[in-house]
Amino acid sequence: MIESSRILLRPWQESDAEALYKYASDPIVGNRAGWPPHQSAGESLEIIRTVFNNPTTWAIVLKETGEAIGAMGYMPDCPLNLPAREGEPLVGYWVGKPHWNKGICTEALKLMLKYIRKETTYSSLISSHFIDNPASGRVMEKCGFLPTGETAIDESLYSGGKRTMRVLRLELQQNTMNIRLEQPEDYREVEDLTREAFWNVYAPGCVEHYVLNQYRHNPDFIKELDFVLEEDGKIIGHVMFSKAEIIKEDGTIMPAWTFGPISIHPDYKRKGYGLKLLQYALEKAKAMGIGFICMEGNIDFYKHAGFVVASTLGIHYHAEPKDAEVPYFLAQELIPGYLNGVEGTYHTPKGYYVAFENKEAFEAYEATFPKKEKKQQDGQLVDDCTKNPNE
């Protein structure tokens, strides 16, 4: 059995026949996957006893109800008319229509890929989807599969004789680092990662995971720059960006941008992942026309990504005197000359203070996580994680 907080993968049981028939009798579901709709619960039972009766096919079970709502699995050898390598497994999956567009297939495929990486020595996996079912391709690509550029037709599949399939492959034995946009189904996992990354760093406990949780609904949040970093299919890093402002000397407002929290799981720190994630995100920001980034951080790390102390660019920090060189307030022109000699003052966006402004809501949110010990340590900025360090 393989499980996450929402679903589990387990062997099919004969008692699943009614649930299987409920979902597999829908002609739309089978047509998308390439098999005919089930005609009776008896047929579904026979499928469980034969087709599904193997160690690499699992029922996708919703923990909340205990019901089997779909299937996930792989065949050790590819039986379809695909450009498969020798001994390359074929991956397949489906989920009942009422459960579409909820991230369940993506979650289930990630669980199976973790199992394959841990329990097998396969070097790659192959899969495909009918081109009129692009949603299946998006599931694969979210999990690291890449299009091979090849297509295929297989008459052995239900209605497959005239339908073109797009071929994708996942390389398992190469560098498996992957950076992609965060998806709604990642939210809780990313917030847990952020909590682990910041716990007891700047204060006993931390608030960064709550800032992230609340920021996704903030109009300043930039969803196009909300990235997760994966290693071997596991999310180990995350960064988000926000709109900000520079108040110029004449009182007018100039657009600016900031980022953070940027999180790397403690098990993966000091291995270069944070810099790779940040450099990738900054390139994407530059491509969007974002010209200037400022943030609060350690110059010894962020100088490697091109940041300098912001005062050297004429940008001041709101909580310090204007003539102060604030070593933790950093900036970078992504587009050279963007500031063009402008001087002004940066104010941290209001969204970053959400835990300080509503402590009761933060404490209620924090209570949904497993308890961790808060500790006072050297280098912390405050002795209470809900205390604004700028006050």
pLDDT tens sequence for the chain (391 residues): 899 989 999 999 999 999 999 999 999 999 999 999 999 999 999 999 999 999 999 999 999 999 999 999 999 989 999 999 988 999 999 999 999 999 999 999 999 999 998 888 898 999 999 999 999 999 999 999 999 999 999 988 988 678 899 999 998 865 568 899 999 999 999 999 999 999 999 999 999 999 999 999 999 999 999 999 998 788 999 999 999 999 998 999 999 999 999 999 999 988 889 999 999 999 999 999 999 999 999 999 899 899 999 999 999 999 899 888 899 999 999 999 999 989 999 999 999 999 999 999 999 999 999 999 999 988 877 777 777 666 5
pLDDT of residue 382: 77
Which tokens in the block code for residue 366?
């924090």
Count the residues in the chain.
391
Give the closest residue to 263 by CA, choosing from 250, 273, 248.
Answer: 273
Cα–Cα distance, 94 to 96 (Å, whole number): 7
Is 295 in contact with 258 (CB distance < 8 Å)? yes
Cα–Cα distance, 339 to 254 (Å, whole number): 9
pLDDT of residue 215: 97
pLDDT of residue 176: 67
One-letter amino acid of 196: E
Write down the pTM of the prediction. Answer: 0.58
Q: For residue 84, what is the DSSP state?
A: P
Q: For residue 358, what is the DSSP state?
A: -
Strands 344-346 and 315-317: parallel
Cα–Cα distance, 107 to 204 (Å, whole number): 33
pLDDT of residue 35: 93
**Could you identify the residue written with the tokens 């087709």?**
51
Give the closest residue to 195 by CA, choosing from 376, 374, 391, 11.
Answer: 374
Strands 2-3 and 253-264: unpaired
Helical (H) or strand (E) element with 142: helix 134-142
Quote the radius of gyration of the chain (alpha carbons, Å). Answer: 25
Cα–Cα distance, 333 to 256 (Å, whole number): 10
Cα 386–Cα 390–Cα 391 angle in degrees, nearest 5? 75
- Name, in order, each residue with C-beta under 8 angstroms of 238's C-beta and a sequence gap of 6 or more: 182, 190, 193, 194, 212, 227, 228, 229, 261, 262, 263, 277
Is 185 in contact with 103 (CB distance < 8 Å)? yes
Residue 130: strand, helix, or coil: strand
Which tokens in the block code for residue 74?
């792989």
pLDDT of residue 173: 65
Q: How far is CA 54 from CA 20, 47, 73, 291, in A?
A: 17, 11, 10, 55
Count the neighbouring beta carbons within 10 Å of the beta carbon of residue 322: 12
pLDDT of residue 388: 67
Cα–Cα distance, 51 to 153 (Å, whole number): 22
Is 90 in contact with 57 (CB distance < 8 Å)? no
- Name, in order, each residue with C-beta under 8 angstroms of 87's C-beta and a sequence gap of 6 or more: 76, 77, 122
Which tokens in the block code for residue 5?
């907080």
pLDDT of residue 389: 61
Give the closest residue to 188 by CA, choosing from 167, 170, 212, 205.
Answer: 212
